[in-house]
């Protein structure tokens, strides 16, 4: 997987790439991340990447020329990248989209600033727009790193445990079950007995029921598209999960 990130502040991306799972993936050459300073492709001596909007109004708008020149430069070096504009107008990012994008081999991320981009960039030079949430950041660099991080960890061989990504919250359409570790008892609060039983079937059933209950209480909207098989419904009944907290949809296949 290759990432190219267009930004006017490339140093903002350096620290996150030097720590943890991402840094290990870079060293192992599972992924490569190339940052490009949009100013390097500016056309004037002042390296201007923004200008006042036509028609007036507050703030500055990112100019099209340096961005397109940067994209052309990347295309010559590594053709065929999937170009993503980080924008509040984009489709809301989630685990399903991360999984979808992890199947690509080359992603180009454009980080915005100020009041946004010249509309011609939106319309003619990107493959899609993505938003990481309904709020405004000072720039798209943090959003770009969210995509780099969430996609990289899904690539084969990046995580130490192959089951980790498959069992993540959201990967199963709901939140994860509660987790416990040592000590067995802490300040009067004990680990659920079933997790100490050694019975893998019972543990699996408990974790499933606990995950549904956790999701129903904290993020019930996630369950609206989640179908439950008759066997799963029996588990929910066995563990007395309050089905009224969520819309139960039955898959009869």
Catalytic residue among 168, 178, 219, 226: 168
- Alpha-carbon gap, residue 227 to 218, rounded angstroms: 18
**Is there a contact between 101 and 153 (Cβ–Cβ < 8 Å)?**
no
Catalytic residue among 113, 153, 207, 232: 153
How far the first Cα of the chain sits from its last, in Å, is 37
Look up residue 44 and give its two tokens: 């004037």
Annotated active-site residue 92? The verdict is: no
- Alpha-carbon gap, residue 108 to 38, rounded angstroms: 13
- Give the torsion through C-alpha atoms of 51, 53, 59, 63, to 10 deg: -40
Catalytic residue among 40, 115, 178, 219: 115
Annotated active-site residue 88? The verdict is: yes
**Closest among 29, 34, 12, 110 to 69, alpha carbons compared:** 110
Annotated active-site residue 115? The verdict is: yes
Look up residue 91 and give its two tokens: 């489709």
Residues assigned a catalytic role = 88, 115, 153, 168
């Amino acid at each position: 997987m290759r990432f190219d990130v267009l930004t006017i502040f490339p140093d903002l991306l350096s620290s996150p790439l030097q720590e943890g799972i991402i840094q290990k993936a870079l060293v192992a050459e599972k992924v490569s991340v190339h940052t490009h300073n949009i100013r390097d492709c500016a056309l004037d001596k002042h390296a201007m990447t923004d200008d006042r909007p036509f028609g007036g109004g507050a703030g500055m708008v990112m100019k099209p020329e340096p961005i397109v020149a940067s994209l052309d430069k990347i295309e010559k070096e590594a053709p065929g990248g999937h170009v993503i504009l980080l924008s509040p107008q984009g489709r809301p990012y989630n685990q399903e989209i991360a999984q979808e994008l992890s199947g690509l081999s080359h992603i180009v991320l454009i980080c915005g600033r100020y009041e946004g981009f010249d509309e011609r960039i939106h319309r003619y030079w990107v493959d899609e727009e993505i938003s990481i949430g309904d709020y405004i950041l000072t720039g798209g660099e943090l959003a770009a790193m969210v995509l780099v991080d969430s996609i990289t960890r899904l690539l084969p061989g990046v995580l130490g445990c192959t089951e980790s990504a498959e069992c993540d919250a959201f990967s199963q359409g709901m939140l994860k079950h509660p987790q416990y570790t040592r000590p067995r008892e802490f300040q009067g609060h004990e680990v659920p007995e079933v997790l100490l039983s050694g019975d893998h079937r019972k543990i699996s059933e408990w974790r499933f029921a606990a995950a549904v209950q956790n999701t129903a209480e904290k993020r019930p909207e996630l369950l609206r598209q989640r179908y439950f098989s008759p066997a799963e419904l029996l588990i929910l009944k066995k563990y007395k999960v309050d089905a009224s907290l969520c819309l139960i949809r039955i898959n009869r296949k």
